[in-house]
Each structure stands twice: as structure tokens, then as C-alpha cells.
Structure 1
């Protein structure tokens, strides 16, 4: 992981590709510390299978789904986390703000 204030330079990416990840070791350490729920914020949940192979009792939750452009996958992830005992904060439906979008491309409003 880059330290706060460092740049993601080519050598950073090379080292991340060249050196072992130690995924199993890290996941085992997390499990031994009491972590059993994992959130994967990727449109294609690739780590879910690896997590289940390492810890079959773990709960993995993905928040995005490729080519699904609705909030349904995110709401499902939120509900899954809640039903597995994770603290969540449900947004109140009346607190959501929407920005009005132009009705056609390049619509603009003059302010003079």
C-alpha cells in the first residue's frame, strides 16, 4: 500500500505486480482477529471466490454489478450486511438530493 503522501509511480505498480500478495496469509490473520465479513466494491467481484476458498464461513458482499445501472445491487449489499449483523445506516428517502439535469445537451442558463 502506498503511504499517505506518496505517488502511485510506475515502480509502485511494478512492485505490486512483481511481489507476492500473500492473500491467504492476510485473510487468515484477519479471520484470527475476528473479521468474517468482507465488502468488495468492484463491478466484477473477483476476490469473492478466493475469500470463500480461504475461509468458507466468511460472508462476502459485493456492491456493484457490471451493466446494472440501478441502485438495486447497492441496496442488496446494504441489506446483506445488515442481515449478517453488520452495523449499517439506512438513508432516509426524503434526505436524498437530486440535481436537475438539462433536458437536452448543452442546455445552459445565462446569469447576466
Structure 2
């Protein structure tokens, strides 16, 4: 009983100090979000931009690797799809976004 009434009788804090302390308590949270942005979000956006540029630059005859591990030469290009020649006279149609890597010429024999 005595403790609860003692807490109720504490002196009110000054108005200017209260605002400053609330800003200082938010500072670590803001800094954490800034670090999170530069460590995780920005590199991921850069990687997505590079992948999009690689997919847009695909040309007929390029040798590519897909997400599933399939290797082949690009034989036809469409808007959202492309056709890979994975073996002589064997063609597979895949989504452009499934291309992971453009291989150097002559990699596929």
C-alpha cells in the first residue's frame, strides 16, 4: 500500500527534458533501420537490377544456365519466355526470369 502511493507522488518531469529524452530513446531504433537498409535491402535491390539488365540483354545464341541447373543455347526470344536448345533438335521453353547466368561462348559442347 505504501509503495504504490509513493510512486503516485513522484514529481513531474520538466516538459523540455521529456521531449529530448523521447527523441534520444528513438535514436537507436532509427540507427538500426538505417544500418538494416544499407546492409540488407540496398544490396538486394542492386542484385535485382543487375539480374533484370542481364535478362533484357539476352540474345539469340547466348549460352545460359537456368534456376533448375539446365544449360542451353538461346534459340528464340519472346516477351516473357525464351526457347533453349538443350541438345541437338531438343528445345525447351522457359521463362526469362529462370535464367540465372549467361555463360561464356563455347562453354556448352
- When Rg is computed on C-alpha atoms for both structures, the one with the higher figure is 2
Higher relative contact order, structure no. (Cα contacts within 8 Å, ≥ 6 residues apart)? 2
The structure with the greater share of residues assigned to strand is: 2
Name the TM tier (shorter chain). Answer: under 0.3
- TM-score by structure 2 length? 0.24
The structure with the greater share of residues assigned to helix is: 2
